[in-house]
């Protein structure tokens, strides 16, 4: 095989057994890699109704055929499992250096099953793997764990690990790699902790075999020459000020910057938490993943006595969640809370949105000091930082925050105050001013996520072409196409930041022609454009099959009542609500699903997917 290493490592943690499996070339062709292989293995090996934190669940780490090559941003991997936060599938994505090292260690993926009786870690050195004791690392933070593992293995290795949050079962615990990069969403770190798996350490010098090296080189030269020329003429704001430098001003301008637990769409203190302010006050240097020409990462240092610290971030989603959502305009505090999330291993989006939910519960008098151990008021920067740390260790009220905003709000009789879809906290784009983004949130297989179809690209930025962000017609069909293409990007092992602008044909068809060229040069399988688009659609429908079998349906493809019924009270999107029902009908039709959101037998046959059981089929 070319592009793929052709091997998957299967690790039975209950028995302490490791085996090397051959990757079926047809499966690789049909599911591409990364996210595609993740859902393929999950559907093959897991009962969708299992307890996510039981030994019956599996944890899958997969790379794509372009991961570890010199493809721009070829540095992504996926972690796929059943989520303990939502009960749905999750496929968390991360970059950095670990994904390249994993691919070059000789494997396209790792499958962890069962549960170890004692804490352990997996060490892979150029195709050779072994399980080692990790009790002496249990309880350590992510940076401490990483440094000690490198000392115990190889200083040039790369580490993906959990921190105390994953060990203690925080339902939105992350798997952190390279210290500051996170496979963050939906609690993949909690699943890893439930298996007593502290870390995966990899070292690899096994090059990724390319089918046509000269063709690959020519594509690379053309794409990078065009990118470099454009960057010189118009320096990338992502490189200058990171994602927060682009998205904080842009969402504020359009009135869709979620503020005060989605009660508002603008934030008076937006400039204080922008990427431009981060650059001015705290930036030490930029940071890039392997083979990335953008370098949107921010290495920062805060000298303020109360919130001193250093590390990477925050990026936009962290800034909105810990900033405007909580009415905190103290960037030092937001940055400090971000450091704590990275050190303890937690998703910053769910952390911030859950604290915002707690602030609204407190503001409404639903909870008080007796439940929380002290005031939780809007804009309280010190309390924000304190609650973040408490959550990572499940201390005091932090034990309730560790369950996520839906369980917190439901505990006190007000689940409507949780800003979630499928129990996953929504990101930093208020869909009341971005109608397509509302459909994307509602139908995302993992729940509230912008990374399954980032409709802000087209509705706010105009990529590939401007569309009316308030218009509802045709948004269902548009979201369907974006979801399929995003599935391909995740499967290939590359990043959306580069792909959207540089590897898609710039029209409303958003055809992945650049990705097609790279994949064919790397793998030699000769995909046609139609076959590649079908692969993206296959991956998304395979994820929907898992959801249907897990008990999810149309009733779960929804948004908080606040977004459906409460108009934005101010700002450029004033008066907006999400008109979801009309768009959802169109979306299901575009997908070839029943009115209840179930893939039809015809659609499954077309994509080569197995039929559903009778009780879930469209025939009943």
Range 263-274 average pLDDT: 98
What's the pLDDT score for residue 508? Answer: 63
User: Is 60 exceeded by the pLDDT of residue 438?
Assistant: yes
Range 247-260 average pLDDT: 98
* Residue 608 tokens, joined: 């080569």
Residue 218, SS3? helix
* Residue 289 tokens, joined: 């993943």
Helices 331-344 + 142-152 axis angle, to 10: 40
pLDDT digits (tens, 9 = 90+) for 340-365: 999 999 999 999 999 999 999 999 99
Report helix, strand and coil shares of the chain as percent, to nearest 5.
45, 15, 40
* Domain ranges across the chain: 7-203, 235-425, 453-616
pLDDT band for 440, please (50, 70, 90 cuts): very high
CA distance 327 to 345: 24
Q: Classify residue 312 by its DSSP letter.
A: E
C-alpha distances in angstroms, 608 versus 26, 49, 603? Answer: 12, 23, 9
β-partners of residue 391 are none
User: Is 70 exceeded by the pLDDT of residue 616?
Assistant: no
CATH T-level fold of 7-203: Aldehyde Ferredoxin Oxidoreductase;  A, domain 1 (3.60.9)
What's the pLDDT score for residue 464? Answer: 81
pTM recorded for the entire structure: 0.97
User: Is 80 exceeded by the pLDDT of residue 196?
Assistant: yes
pLDDT digits (tens, 9 = 90+) for 27-59: 999 999 999 999 999 999 999 999 999 999 999
pLDDT digits (tens, 9 = 90+) for 375-421: 999 999 999 999 999 999 999 999 999 999 999 999 999 999 999 99
Contact 301, 320 (CB under 8 A): no
Contact 593, 600 (CB under 8 A): yes
Looking at the chain, the whole-number percentage of residues with pLDDT higher than 70 is: 99
Average pLDDT, the chain: 96
What's the pLDDT score for residue 538? Answer: 98
CA distance 360 to 390: 19
pLDDT band for 317, please (50, 70, 90 cuts): very high
What's the pLDDT score for residue 614? Answer: 58
Geometric angle at alpha carbon 402, from 396 and 408, rounded to 5°: 90
CA 334 to chain CA centroid, nearest Å: 20
Q: Classify residue 613 by its DSSP letter.
A: P
User: Is 70 exceeded by the pLDDT of residue 334?
Assistant: yes
CATH classification of 235-425 is 2.60.40.10, yes or no? no
Helices 34-45 + 475-492 axis angle, to 10: 90
List of E strands, 64-157:
77-82, 89-94, 109-113, 120-125, 128-133
What's the pLDDT score for residue 463? Answer: 85
CATH T-level fold of 453-616: 1.10.599
What's the pLDDT score for residue 521? Answer: 98
User: Is 90 exceeded by the pLDDT of residue 505?
Assistant: no
CA 49 to chain CA centroid, nearest Å: 22
pLDDT digits (tens, 9 = 90+) for 573-587: 999 999 999 999 999
Task: Tell me the helices (H) and strands (E) count for the chain, helix number first.
Answer: 25, 17
């Amino acid at each position: 095989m070319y592009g793929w290493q052709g091997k998957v490592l299967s690790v039975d943690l209950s028995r302490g057994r490791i085996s090397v499996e051959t990757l079926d070339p047809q499966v690789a062709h049909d599911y591409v890699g990364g996210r595609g292989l993740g859902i393929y293995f999950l559907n093959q090996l897991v009962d969708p109704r299992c307890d996510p934190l039981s030994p019956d669940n599996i944890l899958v780490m997969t790379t794509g055929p372009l991961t570890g090559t010199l493809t721009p941003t070829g540095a992504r991997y996926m972690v796929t499992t059943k989520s303990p936060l939502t009960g749905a599938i999750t496929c968390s994505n991360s970059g950095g250096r670990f994904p390249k090292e994993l691919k070059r260690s000789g494997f396209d993926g790792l499958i962890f099953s069962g549960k170890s009786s004692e804490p352990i870690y997996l060490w892979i050195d150029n195709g050779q793997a072994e399980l080692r004791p990790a009790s002496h690392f249990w309880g350590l933070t992510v940076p401490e764990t990483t440094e000690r593992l490198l000392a115990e293995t190889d200083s040039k290795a790369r580490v993906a690990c959990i921190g105390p949050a994953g060990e203690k079962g925080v339902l939105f615990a992350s798997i952190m790699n390279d210290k500051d990069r996170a496979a963050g969403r939906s609690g993949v770190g909690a699943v890893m902790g439930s298996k007593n798996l502290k870390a995966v350490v990899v070292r690899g010098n096994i090059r990724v075999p390319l089918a046509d090296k000269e063709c690959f080189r020519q594509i690379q030269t053309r794409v990078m020459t065009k990118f470099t020329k454009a960057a010189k003429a118009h320096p990338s704001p992502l490189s200058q000020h990171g994602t927060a430098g682009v998205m904080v001003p842009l969402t504020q301008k359009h009135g869709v910057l979620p503020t005060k637990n989605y009660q508002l769409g603008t934030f008076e203190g937006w400039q204080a938490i922008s990427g431009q302010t981060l650059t001015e006050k705290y930036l030490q240097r930029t940071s890039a993943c392997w083979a990335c020409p953008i370098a949107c990462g921010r290495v920062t240092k805060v000298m303020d006595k109360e919130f001193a610290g250093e590390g990477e971030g925050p990026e936009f989603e962290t800034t909105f969640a810990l900033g405007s959502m909580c009415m905190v305009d103290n960037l030092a505090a937001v940055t400090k809370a971000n450091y704590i999330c990275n050190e303890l291993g937690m998703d910053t989006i769910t952390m911030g949105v859950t604290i915002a939910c707690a602030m609204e519960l407190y503001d409404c008098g639903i909870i008080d000091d007796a439940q929380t151990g002290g005031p939780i008021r809007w804009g309280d920067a010190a309390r924000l930082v304190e609650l973040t740390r408490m959550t990572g260790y499940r201390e005091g009220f932090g034990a309730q925050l560790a369950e996520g905003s839906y369980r917190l709000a439901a505990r006190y009789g007000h689940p409507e105050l949780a800003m979630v879809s499928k129990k996953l906290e929504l990101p930093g784009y208020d869909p009341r001013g971005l109608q397509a983004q509302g459909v994307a949130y509602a139908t995302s297989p993992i729940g509230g996520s912008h990374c399954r179809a980032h409709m802000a690209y087209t509705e706010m930025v105009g990529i590939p072409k401007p569309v009316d962000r308030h218009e509802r017609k045709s948004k269902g069909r548009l979201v369907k196409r974006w979801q399929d293409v995003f599935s391909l990007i995740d499967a290939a092992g590359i990043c959306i930041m580069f792909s959207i602008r540089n590897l898609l044909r710039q029209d409303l068809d958003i055809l992945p022609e650049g990705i097609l060229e790279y994949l064919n040069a790397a793998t030699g399988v000769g995909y046609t454009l139609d076959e590649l688009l079908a692969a993206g659609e296959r991956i998304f429908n395979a994820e929907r099959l898992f959801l249907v079998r897990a008990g999810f349906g149309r009733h779960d493809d929804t948004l908080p009542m606040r977004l459906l019924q409460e108009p934005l009270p101010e700002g450029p999107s004033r008066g907006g609500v999400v008109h979801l029902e009309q768009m959802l009908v169109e979306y299901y039709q575009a997908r070839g699903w029943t009115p209840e959101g179930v893939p039809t037998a015809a659609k499954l046959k077309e994509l080569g997917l197995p039929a559903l059981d009778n009780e879930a089929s469209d025939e009943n």
